[in-house]
Structure 1
Amino acid sequence: MQLETYISDLLYRYECVTVPEFGSFLTQRISAKVHESTNAFYPPKKVLSFNEQIQTNDGLLAHYIADVEKIPFEVAVKKIRKRVKSLKSYLTEGETLTFNNIGDLSFNNEGKMLFTPSYHLNYLTDAFGLSQLVSPAISREVYKEEVQAIEKVIPITVTPEKRKSRPYLKYAAIALVALTLGGLVSSNYYINQIEAHNQLAQEDANTQMESKIQEATFVIDNPLPAVTLTVDKVEVPIGNYHIIAGAFRIEENCDKKLQQLIDQGFDARKIGANKYGLHQVVYSSHTDRLDALKTLRSIKRTHNKAAWLLVKDLN
């Protein structure tokens, strides 16, 4: 079984993919950045890491393998357990495990697991198609330095132009300014008179219109009947993460289990039959995956060790 292929598929959609009794591959999004020395632009991406402390089976990997290979969930769990046993034996012998497009795993001198991520794939779907870009640097100060150098060699001076005095031109300019000001004053007076006349006419028209409206009487002989609208209740999404309490061949047993969980204070409910015809009942459903995992661990520790997480859209 090519376990790394299934892990790689899930890393596109989830931030944590757990391999039971082995460890978890984690992703963290980082923003786009620019390398100052090489002028290279790097798109946003997901950075991979590995945590060998998270080994609890959340059902995500097993359910995905079961759906892809069309096998029961329990068979998928056994195949994962067998593959993990083989991987641990290779690590114990000092070999380095290479997961294609994910990274390399090995043991250090202290017996702890070391992970070297692979950079061949970008698991951030928002950055699909974006690649590294190198842009040449723009030197804006070069031209400024060249101009300053030229000014030092060839200084620029301004010499005022000498003209002969013509006094009659001065009087002609004064007369032109006086005529222009007079025309502007008379034009403004005429425009103001027209605007005042238009304003009075508009006010008179508005007064007549208001009196006509006040005198009018509206009578509706055949009013329309009242319309009654029925609005369906909108159900709030319950989430795609469901903590399974049990699956029963007989629906009556499923109902008994449901009532038992409700009496114990759980937000339990039935989610229908699965593809094997078993009626499923859940402790609770969640929209947040980390919240669902936290609740699952608490239930497995205090109530039911056989509880597991189902990731499915029931809407």
Structure 2
Amino acid sequence: MQIGRYISELLYEHDCVIIPQFGGFVGNYASAKVDRIQNKFSPPSKEISFNKNLTNNDGLLANHISISEDKSFEEANAFVAQQALDLKNRLKAGQKVELEKVGTLYQDAAQNIRFEPDNAVNYSLDAFGFSTLFAHLVVRETVEQKVEKTIRQKISPDISTQLKDRPPIPLDRGKRPLKIMPYLAAAVSLPFVAYIAWLAFNYQLFTTGKFTYANLNPLTEKICVVYKPPLKFKPITIYSPETNLLAAISDTATSVKLSFFERNDPEFSETKQIVVRLKASKPDNTFVARKKPKKAFRFHVIGGCFQYFENAERFVNKLQQQGFEAHIIDIYKGLYRVSVQSYSSRGEMREALASLQSKVNPEAWLLVK
């Protein structure tokens, strides 16, 4: 009896078959695969692997052998134990052990048991009836090939033969007419290019404000613009260095306003005069009473914490309408903490807590800051 045949039969319906004191064969589901290089389609399967740590006797293999061979469970169990011992000895001797329809077992250089499954057998019942498919490459004619084929079919063999036998027509390499069009185009465009260059160097014609169409003719005489001075100048008053302009200014004056225009001049304006400071003004000794700083309130009754500023501000406005001195005290861990009322002592804060819990929020709490 070969134990590999019984393991193979059990792997169709079970995901794990154990050889006691040797190891177990485990089946894992593998989805369908596509090999684009070989154009191969593989159906879903159950991949078999070997685990040397599965050594406990679950009785599955011995029970199957007992039923298949019409033996007692004890005899079947003894057969399985003998097979496990035989497998170990053959592997230690360096032999490769082939289990029918399951795979091949062998030991590597580090004395570890290796397993190569037999991929020719598909143990997945869900893939029953499916086999590996190979897709054949379909070679289609291109558009150029189709057109060439159609033309060849329409040309008769006689015509093609006549064309082959006909001698080539010699080319007439006599005198060719001169190509004068490029030279004619250059001769016509040259004056326009020169005129555009002339305009580029005489751009002042367009900026003088005295431009006429006659100026565009480079052959005409240019009429120079004659400068005409203004008909009337405003008189300039020049004061001598000996003139004392401050003689008429009072000794008590601290500043004076000056203007470049006389009062009867249309350009004169009160708002455009220049203020000149003559001497420093006396310091202002007016007594200003200092306000005493407000008493610090370190004890607060917190009525709520809000994630958004708009909600906190709306709650503050509501409390202020009820007569409380509510305000946003700070931001703690991303929340705006709203104080219903603040106090200067811990005793006042504790006395007011019960009242504020009944009026504002039953969950109001104390904060010392």
TM-score by length of 1: 0.44
If each structure's helix is expressed as a fraction of its own residues, which one has the higher value?
A: 1
Task: Report the structure number with the largest CA radius of gyration.
Answer: 2
Higher relative contact order, chain-length normalized (CA < 8 Å, sep 6+): 1
TM-score by length of 2: 0.38
